[in-house]
Structures are given as C-alpha cells and as structure tokens.
Amino acid sequence: MTTWKRVSSKIIFSHPRIKLAEDIVILPNGNKVKYIRYEGYSDVSTIMTMGRDNKFLMIREYTYPIDQELLKFPEGAIDKNEDPKVAAKRELEEETGFSAAKFVIIGSNLHFHRRSKAKNYIVVASSPYELAEKPPGDQEENITTVWLTEKEIWAAIKNGQIIQKNALAAWAHYQANK
C-alpha cells in the first residue's frame, strides 16, 4: 500500500458547520503538494423507519443550493463523541416528530472520500411511534414527512425524485440487509 506523508496542516476556513484544512503532503512518488480536506466535520446519520402499513418514513426538504425540494430519509450530524444510534434517534425526532423503540446500524458509506474521513451511518429504526410534541429542529430546515411503500420508493428513484446520495446509499444498504 502506498501512503502519503503529511508534513504540515493548517485550518484555512472555520465555520460551525464546516472547517477546511490545507495540508502539505508528500506523495508516494516524492512530489510535495497542497491538499484541501474537510476537518472536524461530524459524521452523518441516516435513518430509515418502517412503520405504518409497512411503509417507510421519508422527508421532503427544501435544499437552498440547488433550489429544489428533495425526498430523502431523516438524517443529520453526529455530535462529537455521540453514538450514531443516539444521533439517529435525535435527528428522527427533530425532523419528523417520530421516534422508535429500536435503532440498529446496518452499514456505512464514506461521506466524501476524497476530502473527508466522515461516514454516513445507515441506521434502521423499528417500531416507530409519534411523539406528543415535536422537538425544535434546525431553523434552516423546512421539512414535511411522507410515508411511502417500497414500490413507491423504487419509483421515486427511477423517476429522479430521490437523488440525494445518502438516501440512495441508505436504500442500497437496506435492500442488501433484507
């Protein structure tokens, strides 16, 4: 295996949601280059819930950069030292007003493999129930919930209604673990 050697690293941009680091690295061929990567970015948790009439809970959320509403599974950042299942429960409750009796990690995928070591953990939440009161969520979120059958999810993928990579990866992991 060839490895890169980090010579130095500095944070060149810092914001509560993202940090960028610039590293000086020596490549296996001996060349020294500057490399940009995401630093301190929390891992992402994706939750899929099956409940009502054998349907899956998904959310519709407006996404500002593409000026489009996306259909995806509830998800969010994992706080520092937080267990992915705990984050999944918190995010599910904040985004949907539902919780579940059981949370199981079924897989993970890399968030952006070329620039970060962050993972997207796929968590299946089972035995869902509605909360008496939905906890406050992120003020940037504009979310509605929808329950879809497996057939409806496949159709939404085929028709280009589900295009977010975390949702597609979560669905692939779920299908592989059935």
The domain locations on the chain are 5-39, 44-176
pLDDT of the residue at 82: 92
Looking at the DSSP bridge assignments, the partners of residue 23 are 9, 35
Which pLDDT score, from 0 to 100, does residue 52 have? Answer: 67
- How does pLDDT run along the chain (178 residues), one tens digit per residue? 679 999 999 999 999 888 999 999 999 999 999 999 987 656 777 887 777 688 999 999 998 888 999 999 999 989 888 999 999 999 999 999 999 999 999 999 988 888 888 889 999 999 999 999 887 777 777 899 999 999 999 999 999 999 999 999 999 999 999 8
pLDDT of the residue at 138: 72
Architecture of the domain spanning 44-176:
Alpha-Beta Complex (3.90)
CA of 82: how far to CAs of 42, 76, 104, 133, 138, in Å? Answer: 10, 12, 15, 23, 18
Residue 25 is predicted with a pLDDT of: 96
